[in-house]
Amino acid sequence: MKEIGIGILGGGYMGKAHAVAMVAVGAVFDTSLRPRLETVCARTMETAEHYRTAYGFARATDDWRVLVADPMVEAVIIASPQQTHRAAAEAAFKLGKPVFCEKPLGASLEDSQAMVAAAEASGVTNMIGFNYIRTPASQYARALVAEGAIGDVTWFRGEHTEDFFANPQTPATWRTTDIANGTMGDLAPHMINAALALIGPITSLIAEVETVHKTRPGGAVTNDDHAQMMCRFKCGAMGQMYFSRIATGRKMGYAYEISGTRGAIRFDQEDQNALWLYRMDEPESERGFRKILTGPAHPDYLHFCQGPGHGTGYQDQIIIEARDFLHAIETGEPVWPTFRDGLEVNRIVAAVFQSSQKKSWVPIETFSDLKGEGK
């Protein structure tokens, strides 16, 4: 076994999840590379010191440059707001250090393209965090679609809906300012990534983006509350998606339905250990959606639990990501999703905004230039 020093930029919600994952991944997956928590960075030294003590880091800093330059930090995890992603990633790549970056890749399409260019020019391991698609159930769904278990895909419906801003009296925060922090920057990337992973590339779309609650206690809202889109996939399938932070009653509404010529699949993250499968080749008297409880026979489940139906949780998704990141570092082979996969998501997000403004269908191929303004 060989140790690898880890630095994490951000110690809050996702920073903690990645710190815990790096501590646990060696025991869960018996990885050849064993992470060592070296440096954590936060906005203030007081907060950084708190995270250092709480999570077990060797050092703390309030300057991301210090973290990236630390010779004991051999790989960098960026778990801070998207406005900080580009500079930190580019600096790490210049030093030849692998980078795992939380979604979305950059605060803009331009940032994301620059990050991909830096990553690929360096030849260093890079990976972006889309954890929900790594549940055993969704990994199994990907396998079913890929092997043709439901035939040719004809239709996809996806949503990422939550209600943390459903109450218009909920005070304004940093999440209600800056377009990168709106629903299209925060929730939408997860379901767009799922659609790309499950069905394949999107060729065109039409969308609407809306701010429902334009003011909140404490200030004006300058980004989006929800959005909807229809799309066409390269494989020919039709699709529709909805994203919302004001979906009353929804707590973790990362859900999708896939219809095919021989069957169908349904999934809802609020019941993340179950997948619903319909096969047309079953007897008519028994035909219907069947609930499949995940267990040791499904991808990555056995490493966490030996009992079928006992279930995995949110933190386990992050541990699976940690395993994949370490594997990519050790082997030098890219592990999906890379920065380029994250860029593809940002291209779709940019197309959604343009479509909403133009009120028309938009071809995705026009978002290949640096600023995403079209050819």
Please indicate, yes or no, whether residues 112 and 152 belong to a single structural domain of this protein: no
Side chain identity, residue 328: A
The 10 Å Cβ neighbour count of residue 328 is 20
Q: What would the pLDDT profile of 131-161 be if each residue is shown by its tens digit?
A: 999 999 999 999 999 999 999 999 999 999 9
Q: Is the pTM of this model over 0.75?
A: yes
Containing structural domain, residue 303: 136-312
The alpha carbon torsion through 321, 352, 112, 238 (nearest 10 deg) reads: 50
Q: Which DSSP category does 365 fall into? A: G
Domain for residue 160, yes or no? yes
pLDDT value at position 1? 79
Please indicate, yes or no, whether residues 90 and 142 belong to a single structural domain of this protein: no
Q: What would the pLDDT profile of 35-70 be if each residue is shown by its tens digit?
A: 999 999 999 999 999 999 999 999 999 999 999 999
Domain for residue 260, yes or no? yes
Cα–Cα separations (whole angstroms), residue 14 to 65, 216, 279: 20, 26, 38
Buried b / exposed e along 206-226 (16+ C-beta atoms within 10 A): bbebebebeebeeeebebbbb
pLDDT value at position 64? 98
Q: Which DSSP category does 104 fall into? A: S
Q: Which of 279, 295, 312 is the last residue of a domain?
A: 312
pLDDT value at position 277? 98
| Residue 285 pLDDT greater than 90, yes or no | no
Please indicate, yes or no, whether residues 32 and 154 belong to a single structural domain of this protein: no
Strand duo 99-102 + 126-129: pairing: parallel
Tell me, rounded to whole angstroms, the distance of Cα 349 from its chain centroid: 13
Please indicate, yes or no, whether residues 112 and 184 belong to a single structural domain of this protein: no
Please indicate, yes or no, whether residues 229 and 140 belong to a single structural domain of this protein: yes
Please indicate, yes or no, whether residues 240 and 222 belong to a single structural domain of this protein: yes
Q: Which of 72, 104, 132 is the last residue of a domain?
A: 132
Please indicate, yes or no, whether residues 210 and 231 belong to a single structural domain of this protein: yes
- Residue 177: exposure state from Cβ atoms within 10 A (0-12, 13-18, ≥19): middle
The length of the chain is 375
Q: Which two tokens stand for residue 93?
A: 């790549």
Domain for residue 370, yes or no? no
3-state secondary structure of 91: helix
Side chain identity, residue 37: L
| Residue 371 pLDDT greater than 80, yes or no | no
Q: How far apart are CA 266 and CA 270, in angstroms?
A: 12
Please indicate, yes or no, whether residues 140 and 179 belong to a single structural domain of this protein: yes
Please indicate, yes or no, whether residues 183 and 308 belong to a single structural domain of this protein: yes
Domain for residue 373, yes or no? no
CATH number at residue 23: 3.40.50.720
Domain for residue 175, yes or no? yes
The 10 Å Cβ neighbour count of residue 52 is 21
Please indicate, yes or no, whether residues 193 and 295 belong to a single structural domain of this protein: yes
| Residue 370 pLDDT greater than 80, yes or no | no
Count of structural domains within the chain: 2
| Residue 88 pLDDT greater than 70, yes or no | yes
**Average pLDDT in the 357-374 region?**
75
pLDDT value at position 84? 94
pLDDT value at position 375? 32
Domain for residue 341, yes or no? no
The answer to whether the bond into 171 is cis (omega within 30° of 0) is: no
pLDDT value at position 373? 37
pLDDT value at position 282? 87
Domain for residue 151, yes or no? yes
Q: How confident is the model at residue 367 (pLDDT cuts 50, 70, 90)?
A: confident
Contacts of 296 (CB under 8 A, 6+ apart): 302, 305, 306, 308
CATH number at residue 266: 3.30.360.10
Q: Which of 87, 108, 132 is the last residue of a domain?
A: 132
268: phi then psi, degrees, rounded to nearest 5: -140, 125
Mean pLDDT, the chain, rounded, equals: 96
- Going by C-alpha positions, the residue among 95, 62, 98 that lies closest to residue 77 is 98
Please indicate, yes or no, whether residues 35 and 88 belong to a single structural domain of this protein: yes
**Average pLDDT in the 271-288 region?**
93
Please indicate, yes or no, whether residues 124 and 151 belong to a single structural domain of this protein: no
3-state secondary structure of 368: coil
